Amino acid sequence: MNDIRELARSKMSICKACKECNGIVCAGWTPGCGGKGNGSTFIRNVAKLKEVCVNMNVISSNEKLTCETDFFGSKVSLPVYVAPIGNIFVHYGANMSEYDYTKALVDGVGKDTIVFTGDGQNIDVLMEPLKAVDDGWVVPTIKPWQNDEMKKRIDMIKSSKCSVCCSDIDAAGLTALKTGYPAVEFKDEKALKEIVEKANMPVIFKGIMTKDAAIKCMNAGASGIVISNHGGRVLQDACSTIEVLEEIATAVNGKMKIFIDGGFRSGSDVFKALALGADGVLIGRPFSIAAIGDGANGVRKYLDKIHEELKETMMMCGCRKISDINRDCVRVSWR
């Protein structure tokens, strides 16, 4: 991965592709790849993950280990997904089109996992990536636009082959999208329900950080949520995602899929989230750096690394399949 990071550094002007991607160097670099304001939310995402450790347990069978998971009817090789990042030029200073960026991601991960794609005021940010995928093996993520625009874009997705969609409703807080046209807005439970009904396919709401919000998503008919603080890019001084996961999972109690993002870097990090109740993990920055640095090849290498690390962690904790991972597999320092 050192090579890929070095390549990436030569191809982008904002992100420094640090050896440890922890939000410290880039604190406050928004627009850009850093956390908002003092950068504390991004930094806390990474720091709190270190306060979870895994319980090694080697007494087990030699049954073949698999990370296979169901993602709304599709089989993926591991429950790690590519987080939606659009406007790669604005965020990384990389001279790469949305199409090429998505192409690198989807070619890189193949059918092993699924790429979430982004959105922007310019509708090309939403649609160009979809052109890079011809079989619907992607999750378009729409910004929480005002009603008419929202419906228009949902219709466009429905006319693609995609069978699951997402909306990062915390993007309502993105200053840059509050003015101009279309503009984002906040969604209440009723508005979320309308989106779900309009979409007529499984809908995932991204940007959930409390159990109350999770329950509202359930009530609105969501099929899943992403516990996310937008990588620390919409609010300073927010809680980390990993520390709110368990109480949200307890409240949801299996009635909705729970995804999470925010500072996950290794397979052992992914394992921690699964143990605390997540069904899958979205990873953003490292995939972006891999795609910018070495295209599909870099993405593949990073995915293989995460996959290998997840397998090793499972194997060493007595888990042979994803459903074997449970709360007893980790120990948390913050309680």
Q: Which two tokens stand for residue 95?
A: 């001279």
CB of 229 vs a copy of itself, minimal distance in Å = 6
Identity of the residue, 13 or 175, whose beta carbon is nearer to a copy of itself in the bound complex: 175
Q: Please tell me the distance from the alpha carbon of residue 318 to that of residue 333, in angstroms, as a whole number.
A: 22
- Supply the minimum distance, in Å, between the C-beta of residue 100 and a copy of itself: 31
- Across the strands, what pairs with 71? 74
**Closer residue to a copy of itself in complex, CB, 117/313:** 313
DSSP 3-state assignment of 142? strand
Which residue's CB is nearer to a copy of itself, number 17 or number 105? 17
Distance of closest approach, residue 105 Cβ to a copy of itself, in angstroms: 25
Residue type, 217: C
Q: How far apart (Å, rounded) are the C-alpha atoms in residues 44 and 242? A: 10
Least separation, in Å, of the C-beta of 26 and a copy of itself? 16
Tokens at residue 216, please?
């509202």
Contacts of range 69-77, beta carbons closer than 8 Å, 24 or more positions apart = 69/279, 69/280, 69/322, 71/114, 71/164, 71/280, 72/163, 72/164, 72/202, 72/223, 72/224, 72/257, 73/163, 74/114, 74/137, 74/163, 76/111, 76/112, 76/113, 76/114, 77/111, 77/112, 77/113, 77/307
Residue placing its CB nearer to a copy of itself in the complex, 6 or 328 = 328
Q: How far is the CB of 244 from a copy of itself (least distance, A)?
A: 8
Which of 134/197 has CB closer to a copy of itself?
Answer: 197
C-beta closer to a copy of itself: residue 198 or 311? 311
CA 164 and chain centroid, separation = 14
Q: In whole angstroms, how close is the CB of 167 to a copy of itself at the nearest point?
A: 11
Cα gap 205→185, rounded to integer Å: 14
Distance of CA 243 to the CA centre of its chain: 16
The two beta strands, 330-332 and 138-142, are: unpaired
Residues found near a copy of itself in the complex (CB under 8 A): 20, 37-38, 40-41, 44, 50, 52-62, 169-170, 172-173, 175, 185-189, 192, 207-210, 212-213, 216-217, 229, 234-240, 243-244, 266, 268-269, 272, 309, 312-313, 315-316, 318, 328, 331, 333-334
CB of 298 to a copy of itself, least distance (A): 20
The smaller minimum CB distance to a copy of itself, of residues 53 and 135, is found at 53
